[in-house]
Structure 1
Amino acid sequence: MTENVLDVLMYLFETAGDDGVPPEPDREGLRDELERAGFRDREIDRALEWLDGLASRRADEVGEPPTERAMRIYGRDECIRMDTNGRGYMMYLEQIGILSAHQRELVIDRLMALDGEEIDVDDIKWVVLMVLFSQPGEETAYARMEDLVFEDRAWITH
């Protein structure tokens, strides 16, 4: 199996989404479930670290909100890993009100914490869903993002 951290996270997210509650907080139980699903120890450890990073950072801890005229300038490493399409998609999500500037920073932090060289728009969509799912009071933004994620995939199943 050639999975990566995002595959493990997506598996957890999709199984948590079935009953609408986050996965069991018992780390050993979670690890056992992931091993039974066929994931390797290295990816399981990295996914659990990624989740710990998400839990430790909240959107309201990022700092002062940017002014209306502020513009996000991506760093060199961010530009290397996230191409123009990805950065444009992040801006689009912010412009249509799915992400706040604080949430955008949390999403970027979690994207950069993923393994792999390139971050594509699909990776961004899934990480945005996971970040919104983890934040209380973001049900509307989550539902709008879920529509965007699954409307793009609808043609695949037909």
Structure 2
Amino acid sequence: MFDVLVYLYENYWRPDACPDHDQLSRKLTAVGFETDEIQEALHWLDGLADTSQGYTGVQSDDAIRLYSDREIESLGETSVGFVTFLESAGVLPPPMREMVIDRAMAAGGNPLDLDDMKIIILMVFWSLGEEPDALILDELFVAPEERLIH
């Protein structure tokens, strides 16, 4: 599923640029993705679209997010820590964080791989038509050992 999501991010600059599900399925099949993987990704994207429509961007600045045991188990401590880092850096506002958590829980994993969490975060930005700044893109896609320290 995550390979399909990355393909969509790279080939469609925003969600409304994607063709309808039938046409998109044919295109993804022609590119070489498996039918099950395509269907899983499309189902996941439907959930993302539903979540995006309810996005208001408004939440109290003094709200605190407590993760349930089930969320920590499903997301993994590394992914929870990464989401918390992005939120504390001011990059991931609380409503977007909730979208990320919702979609991460829908993806499954137990625990979710950090690279998959990064794709989910990127897809949430994509679904809202927002481009993460260059530093966040670097954090999402450049391996720590490959970063240049100035």
TM-score band w.r.t. shorter chain: 0.7 to 0.9
Equivalent of 2:51 in 30, 52, 57: 57
Larger CA deviation: 59-68 vs 39-48? 59-68
How far apart are 1:116 and its partner, in Å? 3.2
Alignment partner of 1:13 is 2:6? no
Distance of 1:109 and 1:53 partners within structure 2: 9
The amino acid across from 2:116 in the alignment is: D
Which ranges in structure 2 are unaligned for 5 or more consecutive residues? none
Letter in 1 for 2:6: M
TM-score with structure 2 length normalisation? 0.82
The offset of 1:63, in angstroms, is: 9.3
Equivalent of 1:131 in 116, 120, 124: 124
Aligned-CA RMSD value: 2.6
Q: TM-score, normalised by structure 1?
A: 0.78
Q: Secondary structure at the match of 1:74?
A: coil
In the alignment, what sits opposite 1:119? 112
Question: What count of residue pairs does the alignment treat as equivalent?
Answer: 146
Match of 1:30 among 24, 30, 34: 24
Q: 1:146 maps to which residue?
A: 137
- Higher relative contact order (CA closer than 8 Å, sequence separation 6+): 2
8 Å Cα contact 2:57/2:93 also seen in 1: no
Q: Which moved more, 1:113-122 or 1:78-87?
A: 113-122
Instruction: After superposition, give the CA deviation of every residue in 1:47-87 in whole Å (9 maximum; x if it has no partner).
Output: 1111111111127547972441x321112221112222211
Over 3 Å off, 4+ runs? 20-23, 59-64, 141-144, 153-156
Q: Distance in 1 between matches of 2:9 and 2:143?
A: 18
**CA distance in 2: counterparts of 1:60 and 1:42, whole angstroms:** 28
Percent identity (aligned)? 38
For residue 82 of structure 2, what is the aligned residue in structure 1?
89
Give the Å deviation of 1:128.
0.8
Cα separation, 2, equivalents of 1:132 and 1:63: 12
Aligned equivalents of 1:76 and 1:59: distance in 2? Answer: 28
SS at 1:39 equivalent: coil
